[in-house]
């Protein structure tokens, strides 16, 4: 790890909705040589060295971005062509995914995505707002470089490999990532009831040979003859051949919508016997794009922000 003295960098934070101010505070706390700017228009992208897509509500961000003249195209160009780093956290990670399931049922065209990383993301995998929690997650790698010698206690914390306090708020999970995407962290967790029903519908479509780019939420409620309402119960198990299988739902759900393109092979992560708990991915990197499913900006730990700053310095050095 090297130190870049007096190397001022400017990092933009997409400020349409969500925790953009918290990211600014974390980045500026690292060093006085880090400047942040709130990004709301495409012309602001020209003066930054990297950008953060914060956590918040991905559907709202997509709706605002779509109606802001030139912004979504500008962000796509920045992510795909600029060679400058982009970091998406939680909702921001969803925006950077190429494929997404559990999208809003009230949005006609589904979730508006910017793309950049060929990952399959499940929105709200861990549950609703009241299901938010904190759990230990893998620490980020040591940063490529630091801005100056004052941003850490002699660099000791940057090399700290102890677990990171991952805060999951209505959090998504990454279900699959191809070999060219570097997996930086995984956790074992069961999907919420609503996500489990979406996963079952996804499995049905994959078994039928479909390549699912987007899949809407699936009705997870059972409406009984007496007027009672309960949750559909989905339990993923393994069959006798050791392959993943799933029990048949009592009533097939038809409320999902999907966008089908040419077929590709996708294998979902396996489920443990008698439980829906499975290993899912919570952090990845592909080139100059970083994604985390949790919210580092509200943890009392700057290691992921320092890692991203290192990516920005790496890009500047190679440009």
Structure tokens given for 150: 């004052």
* Rounded Cα gap, residues 107 and 140, in angstroms: 35
Verify whether residue 90 is a known catalytic residue: yes
Verify whether residue 295 is a known catalytic residue: yes
* Rounded Cα gap, residues 250 and 238, in angstroms: 19
Q: Cα 260 from chain centroid? A: 22
Tell me which of 23, 100, 192, 295 is the catalytic residue.
Answer: 295
Write 219-226 long-range contacts (CB < 8 A, 24+): 219/253, 219/255, 220/193, 220/194, 220/196, 220/253, 222/250, 222/251
Verify whether residue 297 is a known catalytic residue: yes
Tell me which of 192, 201, 297, 305 is the catalytic residue.
Answer: 297
Tell me which of 90, 100, 122, 282 is the catalytic residue.
Answer: 90
Q: At what angle do helices 20-30 and 303-318 cross, to 10 degrees?
A: 70
Structure tokens given for 44: 């602001």
* Rounded Cα gap, residues 125 and 193, in angstroms: 9
Dihedral sign for Cα atoms in the order 34, 37, 42, 47: negative
* Rounded Cα gap, residues 28 and 307, in angstroms: 14
* Rounded Cα gap, residues 238 and 240, in angstroms: 7
Which is nearest to 92 in space by CA: 123, 129, 134, 46? 123
Q: Catalytic residue positions?
A: 90, 295, 297
């Amino acid at each position: 790890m090297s130190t870049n003295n007096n190397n001022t960098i400017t990092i933009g934070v997409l400020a349409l909705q969500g925790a953009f101010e918290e990211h600014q505070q974390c980045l500026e706390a690292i060093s006085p040589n880090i400047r942040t700017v709130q990004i709301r228009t495409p012309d602001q992208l020209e003066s930054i060295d990297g950008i953060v897509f914060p956590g918040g509500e991905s559907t709202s961000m997509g709706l605002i971005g779509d109606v802001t003249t030139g912004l979504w195209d500008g962000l796509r160009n920045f992510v795909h062509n600029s060679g400058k780093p982009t970091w998406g956290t939680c909702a921001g990670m969803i925006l950077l995914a190429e494929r997404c399931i559990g999208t809003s049922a009230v949005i006609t065209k589904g979730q508006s995505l910017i793309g950049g990383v060929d990952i399959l993301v499940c929105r709200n995998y861990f549950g609703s707002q009241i299901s938010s929690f904190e759990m230990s997650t893998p620490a980020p790698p040591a940063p490529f470089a630091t801005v100056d010698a004052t941003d850490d206690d002699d660099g000791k914390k940057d090399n700290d490999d102890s677990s990171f306090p991952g805060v999951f708020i209505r959090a998504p999970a990454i279900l699959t990532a191809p070999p060219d995407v570097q997996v930086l962290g995984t956790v074992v967790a069961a999907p919420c009831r609503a996500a489990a029903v979406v996963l079952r519908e996804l499995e049905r479509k994959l078994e039928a040979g479909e390549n699912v780019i987007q899949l809407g939420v699936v009705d997870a409620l059972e409406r009984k003859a007496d007027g009672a309402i309960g949750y559909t119960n989905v339990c993923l198990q393994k069959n006798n051949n050791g392959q993943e299988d799933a029990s048949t739902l009592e009533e097939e759900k038809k409320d999902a919508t999907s966008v089908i393109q040419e077929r590709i092979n996708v294998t979902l992560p396996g489920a443990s016997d008698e439980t829906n708990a499975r290993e899912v991915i919570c952090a990845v990197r592909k080139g100059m794009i970083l994604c985390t499913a949790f919210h580092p900006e509200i943890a009392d730990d700057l290691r992921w922000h320092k890692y991203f700053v290192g990516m920005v310095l790496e890009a500047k050095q190679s440009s």
